[in-house]
Chains A and B, each alone.
Chain A
Amino acid sequence: AQSVTQLGSHVSVSEGALVLLRCNYSSSVPPYLFWYVQYPNQGLQLLLKYTSAATLVKGINGFEAEFKKSETSFHLTKPSAHMSDAAEYFCAVSSNTGGFKTIFGAGTRLFVKA
């Protein structure tokens, strides 16, 4: 079975500060890992994905994440927060076995202060 744990339901940063959203996963098979963003009243947008290639993955809007197998982590970072980054962020895991179900974490709401 696969699962995802996102540490912190809410994260608040100042504009220009580092963004760090934490995600730990559990998977009995090599995982595919994703970060999605959801803006208010909008659908899901894929930020980035890890699919067993480079462990440091760069995504859209300046976000990146590093896959650390030893720590079973896939934390999302951005060097400098922008007001437009305020949204809900979901970490998700799936695999190429068992039908490619995508399992989502509980989500982390990012607040950006001026």
Chain B
Amino acid sequence: SAVISQKPSRDICQRGTSLTIQCQVDSQVTMMFWYRQQPGQSLTLIATANQGSEATYESGFVIDKFPISRPNLTFSTLTVSNMSPEDSSIYLCSVEESGTEAFFGQGTRLTVV
């Protein structure tokens, strides 16, 4: 199974600033996914990131707010831009493997003050 490392594991940020979250996978994967889990809520898919193309965003999420990079088959970043307290969430990176299962990183716990 894929091993996913996310950095940072947690951060406290001032409103109006931006945070970039890194996701590193120990194997090459075609698709990487970014999710948000707001306090007490389920996981919501933000976007799908393919290497060599622009990310595909889900309804309610836009590139200006959540720019994503995917420079190679083992790495991706998600930036949370111009943060507000409503952005306080856990952000999770996920990859698909073997066409049957998604694996998740431990997440980045973001608090915006």
Contact = CB atoms under 8 A, between A and B. Distances in A.
Interface string B91-113: 01010100111101111000000
Interface residues of A, number: 21
A46 B101 CA distance: 9
Interface in A11-67: 32, 34, 42-44, 46, 49, 51
Contacts of B105: 43
Contacts of B13: none
Given A43-B105, A107-B42, A102 B94 contact: yes
Contacts of A51: 100-101
A43 B4 CA distance: 12
Interface residues of B, number: 20
A81 to B, nearest CB: 22
Contacts of A42: 106
A101 interface: yes
Nearest to A52: B100
Contacts of A74: none
A99 B48 contact: yes
Contact of A94 (B44, B102, B106): B102
Contact of A100 (B31, B41, B107): B31
Interface of A: 32, 34, 42-44, 46, 49, 51, 90, 92, 94, 96, 99-107
8 contacts: A34-B102, A43-B105, A43-B106, A44-B43, A96-B100, A100-B96, A105-B42, A107-B41
